[in-house]
Structure 1
Amino acid sequence: MHPAKMAARFGISPSTLRNYEANGLIPPAIRAENGYRSYTEEHAAYLACIQAMAPAFSIEITTAVLRLLSEGKLDEALWLVKERELALCEQKRRLETLIADLRSEQSSPKPAGSDERLTLQQASARVKVPKSAIRYWEKAGLLTAERDPDNGYRLFGASDVRLMRLLGVLRNTVYSADTVMLRQAVAQASADDADGQGAMRIATDAMAHMNKLNQAQMRGVSYLYRLIRTTRPGAFGESPAWEQRLEQQDMERDERV
């Protein structure tokens, strides 16, 4: 298939297709006698896998996985995918804990004026993120720290800590339009969110985003499985009879189309 047609099939530009090839994400193009580049259904399987995996795992992880496959390191590639799935599970657990804490705070609010103030070191330990991350969030306008009038040190209240916990959950998620909107919502919530209602809304939206990401990872893994089955027959051992029958039916259906 001509490069322009293959690129159009997957909604990418011919230059992106060439970059994928140059970076080892897809096999080299077939060269015709006239020197023109051509792509096959094997290339299409790679491109489908990239399109499915990148939004769920990031293009960096997708690139690493496909390079491992090209080096014959199947198990390493699969474990890398599993690590990212487990990382999402851990982020979800952290978010669930935050939501439970927010509900507890709302059901038993603290008296006015009893808000604890934490130093940068204390906030870092409480939220379990590096101090450099907190400084970055402040510089980016996502947090606004108070300053101790005596020594000028940063001080963070309960509402700041809530926002830090949200940002900590979002910190390692795959970059997307959803994560951008969530970070913007954190910036708009600011430290004035005394009752935690703003943080709860953002946390609820973040959970919806994680559910979508979990679904996207499932889809990405399914396309990775198809790619491996297509390009490395027998990689997972002999297919059970029922799977062979299904594949035969799919092939016959494709031939009729």
Structure 2
Amino acid sequence: MRPADLAREHGISTQAIRNYERDGCLPLAARTPTGYRIYTELHAVALRAYLALVPAYGHATAGAVMTAVHADRLDDALAALDRGHVQSLRDRETLATVRAAVGRLTDGAAPGTGLPALPGPRSVGEVAHRLGVTPATVRAWEAAGILTPTRDRATGHRRYLPADVRDAELAHLLRRGGYRLDRIATVLRQIRTAGGTGEPATALDGWQQRLTARGLAMLTASARLDDYLALRAEPPRRA
């Protein structure tokens, strides 16, 4: 096969094929006496495996898996996949927690973070400590319009009331779910102004759909990688 033959199946460029080989995502190709690459079915199956791994685990992990396989470090490849599954499970647990939090917002209850509600106004340092982030992060959320604390008239220091702490907790959970600051600001604004859960529910449904799509992509990637490992294990054919 030529680079164009591999590229055509996936709608990518021949330069991408050469780059994947250079980066270790494909096995090294043999060369003709004039220097042209010779690709085989092994390269085609490897490319399918790599391109299936990308939407499931991301470019970095996909590359790490394939380079580990080509270096005969199968356990390292499997460990990289395991970390992806662990992260996926954490994302699902985070989503469930955020759903519980959003469901309680209209009832005036504290979000389901497992933490007791903080009475009275709190400082930025206390809120940051509660969430396990830096005060600079909390201030960045304020700059993005996510938090709207009041100020102490005498000192000018930020004062976070229970509702502000609730917003900070929900913002922290959404950040862990991969949401951008501007999107989180939209969700929190809707909660504060409308008191409903329509916008947050829509956002969380989208998050759920992405997790489902990623889970299905992981299944596909596992099948493609298994095909490649099986082909690599076959004894070379005799001419």
What range describes the TM-score normalised by the shorter chain of this pair? 0.7 to 0.9
How far does residue 119 in structure 1 lie from its aligned partner after superposition?
4.1
The corresponding residue for 1:218 is 219
How far does residue 66 in structure 1 lie from its aligned partner after superposition?
1.1
Structure 1 counterpart of 2:184, one-letter code: V
The corresponding residue for 1:193 is 191
- Structure 1: gaps of 5 or more residues: 171-178, 235-257
In the aligned structure 1, how far is the partner of 2:135 from the partner of 2:228? 42
Superposition pairs of residues 163-182 of structure 1, within 5 angstroms = 163-170=171-178
2:151 maps to which of 148, 153, 177: 148
User: In the alignment, is the contact (CA less than 8 A) between 1:166 and 1:203 conserved in 2?
Assistant: no
Is the partner of 1:109 in helix, strand or coil?
coil
User: In the alignment, is the contact (CA less than 8 A) between 2:7 and 2:13 conserved in 1?
Assistant: yes
Alignment TM-score, normalising by the size of structure 2: 0.78
Superposition pairs of residues 1-257 of structure 1, within 5 angstroms = 1-106=1-106, 108-109=107-108, 118-129=122-133, 134=138, 141=144, 143-146=146-149, 148-149=151-152, 150-153=155-158, 155=160, 156-170=164-178, 185-194=183-192, 195=195, 197=197, 198-233=199-234
Structure 2 counterpart of 1:193, one-letter code: I
Is the partner of 1:218 in helix, strand or coil?
helix
User: In the alignment, is the contact (CA less than 8 A) between 1:127 and 1:168 conserved in 2?
Assistant: no
How far does residue 101 in structure 1 lie from its aligned partner after superposition?
2.4
How far does residue 161 in structure 1 lie from its aligned partner after superposition?
2.9
Cα displacement string for residues 96-152 of structure 1 (whole angstroms, at most 9, x for unaligned residues): 02212222333x236xxx99655444444444455565566566x473554634344
User: In the alignment, is the contact (CA less than 8 A) between 2:145 and 2:185 conserved in 1?
Assistant: yes
* Identity %, equivalent residues: 21
The corresponding residue for 1:243 is none
How far does residue 63 in structure 1 lie from its aligned partner after superposition?
0.9
How far does residue 214 in structure 1 lie from its aligned partner after superposition?
1.0
Root mean square deviation, CA, Å: 2.9
How far does residue 196 in structure 1 lie from its aligned partner after superposition?
5.7
Alignment TM-score, normalising by the size of structure 1: 0.73
- Structure 2: gaps of 5 or more residues: 110-117
Change beyond 3 A, Cα 1:193–1:9:
same
User: In the alignment, is the contact (CA less than 8 A) between 1:186 and 1:202 conserved in 2?
Assistant: no
Is the partner of 1:223 in helix, strand or coil?
helix
Change beyond 3 A, Cα 1:41–1:145:
farther
User: In the alignment, is the contact (CA less than 8 A) between 2:146 and 2:181 conserved in 1?
Assistant: no
Aligned length: 219
Cα displacement string for residues 34-57 of structure 1 (whole angstroms, at most 9, x for unaligned residues): 221221111111110111110110
